[in-house]
Amino acid sequence: MKLYSTTDIAESLRKASEAFTHVVFNRGQTMAHYVPFDTRLIPDIPLYQYKQNIFESHPQLARWKEKGGVLIVLDTHISVPCDVTVMVQCPYNMQRLELVNKENAEYGVIPNPVIWTMYDEEIDLRNPEVKYLQEIWHHCGGKQMTNSELAQASGWPERQVRSMKNALKPIEHWYIEKRLAPERTEFIPAWDWLEPGCMPKSAVTNAGFRPQVEEMARFGYIGLKRLNHYPSETPNWRKLQKDREAALKSLSDVRSLVDSIPDHLAS
pLDDT at residue 114 in the model: 77
Give the residue from 135, 165, 130 showing the smallest Cα distance to 242.
130
Tally helices (H) and strands (E) across the chain.
Answer: 11, 10
Q: What is the average pLDDT across 161-178?
A: 97
pLDDT of residue 212: 94
- pLDDT surpassing 90 at residue 68: yes
| φ, ψ at 187 (rounded to 5°) | -95, -15
- Mean pLDDT along residues 214-231: 96
Which pLDDT score is estimated for 32? 87
Q: What is the dihedral sign for C-alpha 206, 211, 212, 218?
A: positive
Contact between 99 and 77 (Cβ < 8 Å): yes
Strand partners, 24: 71, 85
Mean pLDDT of the chain: 95
The answer, yes or no, to whether residue 141 has pLDDT greater than 90, is: yes
- What is the Cα–Cα distance from 64 to 106, expressed in whole angstroms? 18
Distance CA 62, CA 44 (A): 20
41-55, 87-101, 250-264: segment of lowest average pLDDT? 41-55
Question: What's the mean pLDDT in 200-212?
Answer: 94
- Residue 198 above 80 pLDDT? yes
Helix %, strand %, coil % of the chain (to 5): 45, 20, 35
> Bigger pLDDT: 174 or 1?
174
- Which pLDDT does position 266 carry in this prediction? 95
For residues 124 and 155, is the Cβ–Cβ distance under 8 A?
no
Predicted local confidence at residue 267, as pLDDT = 87
The rounded distance, in Å, linking the Cα atoms of 228 and 143 is 8
**Looking at the predicted structure, is the pLDDT value of residue 34 above 90?**
no
Cite the residue boundaries of each domain of the chain with CATH code 3.40.50.300: 3-114
State pTM to two decimals. 0.86
How far apart CA 60 and CA 74 sit, in angstroms, is 13
Instruction: Specify the pLDDT at position 115.
Output: 87
The answer to whether residues 257 and 3 touch, using CB atoms and an 8 Å cutoff, is yes
Which amino acid, one-letter code, is at 25? F
Distance separating the N- and C-terminal Cα atoms of the chain? 17
> Is the model's pLDDT at 1 over the cut of 90?
no
Query: Is 136 exposed, middle or buried, given 0-12, 13-18 or 19+ CB atoms closer than 10 A?
Result: buried
| Alpha carbon distance 130, 150 (integer Å) | 17
Asked whether residue 239 carries a pLDDT value surpassing 80, the answer given is yes
In CATH terms, the superfamily for domain 3-114 is P-loop containing nucleotide triphosphate hydrolases (3.40.50.300)
Give the model confidence (pLDDT) of 6-33 as tens digits. 999 999 999 999 999 999 999 999 998 8
Cα–Cα distance, 177 to 252 (Å, whole number) = 46
pLDDT in tens, 240-264: 999 999 999 999 999 999 999 999 9
